[in-house]
């Protein structure tokens, strides 16, 4: 599996998902309490470590072959990832300013990005050369 495939499929590894979800909520709590440095460290460092470990050591082939893997291959493009990142960034800013409604909106942005293919299914209009193999 090449590096771009690993970068795609590591996102659905259970350890990566758990790390991202748990660290996000702890980070939001810390930012809500105005602990900026620790909030940002908890918000980003565990995710980076999980990414490096999973890409380096995990066998991602079974995730690639799974239904979720096929879904991610079809719908998790750079735009969708940017929406997820924007939602994450917005949630951290909202937590700092104690804006519950904005945290909820940012979480909905992230959820909609993950569910885009279910909510707005479309046919793929383009294929990468590597997809044709």
pLDDT digits (tens, 9 = 90+) for 47-59: 999 999 999 999 9
User: Residue 115 in contact with residue 92, Cβ under 8 Å?
Assistant: no
Identify whether 106 is part of a domain. Answer: yes
Q: How many domains does the chain have?
A: 1
Q: What are phi and psi of 33, to 5 degrees?
A: -85, 5
Range of the domain at 102: 3-119
Long-range contacts formed by 64-71: CB under 8 A, 24+ apart: 64/1, 64/5, 64/9, 66/12, 68/12, 69/9, 69/12, 71/117
pLDDT tens figures, 89-112? 999 999 999 999 999 999 999 999
DSSP letters spanning the chain: --HHHHHHHGGG-HHHHHHHHHHHHHHHHHHHTT-HHHHHHHHHHHHHHHHHHHHHH---HHHHHSHHHHHHHHH--HHHHHHHHHHHHHHHHHHHTT-HHHHHHHHHHHHHHHHHHHHS--------GGGG-
Quick one: pLDDT at residue 76? 94
Identify whether 24 is part of a domain. Answer: yes
Quick one: pLDDT at residue 122? 77
User: Residue 34 in contact with residue 4, Cβ under 8 Å?
Assistant: no
Q: Rounded to an integer, what is the distance from CA 6 to the centroid of its chain?
A: 14
Identify whether 61 is part of a domain. Answer: yes
Identify whether 111 is part of a domain. Answer: yes
Identify whether 21 is part of a domain. Answer: yes
Q: What is the pTM of this model?
A: 0.86
Identify whether 125 is part of a domain. Answer: no
Identify whether 39 is part of a domain. Answer: yes
List of the chain residues with pLDDT < 50: 125-126, 132-133
Identify whether 127 is part of a domain. Answer: no
Quick one: pLDDT at residue 123? 62
């Amino acid at each position: 599996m090449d590096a771009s495939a690993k970068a795609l499929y590591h996102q659905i590894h259970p350890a990566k998902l758990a790390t991202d979800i748990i660290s996000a909520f702890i980070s939001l709590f810390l930012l809500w309490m105005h602990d900026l440095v620790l909030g940002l460290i908890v918000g980003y460092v565990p995710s980076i470590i999980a990414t490096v470990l999973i890409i380096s050591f995990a066998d991602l082939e079974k995730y690639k072959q799974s239904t979720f893997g096929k879904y991610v291959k079809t719908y998790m493009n750079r735009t969708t990832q940017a929406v997820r990142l924007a939602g994450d960034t917005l949630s951290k800013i909202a937590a700092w300013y104690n804006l519950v409604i904005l945290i909820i909106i940012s979480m909905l942005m992230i959820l909609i990005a993950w569910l885009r293919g279910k909510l707005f299914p479309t046919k793929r209009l383009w294929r990468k050369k590597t997809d044709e193999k």
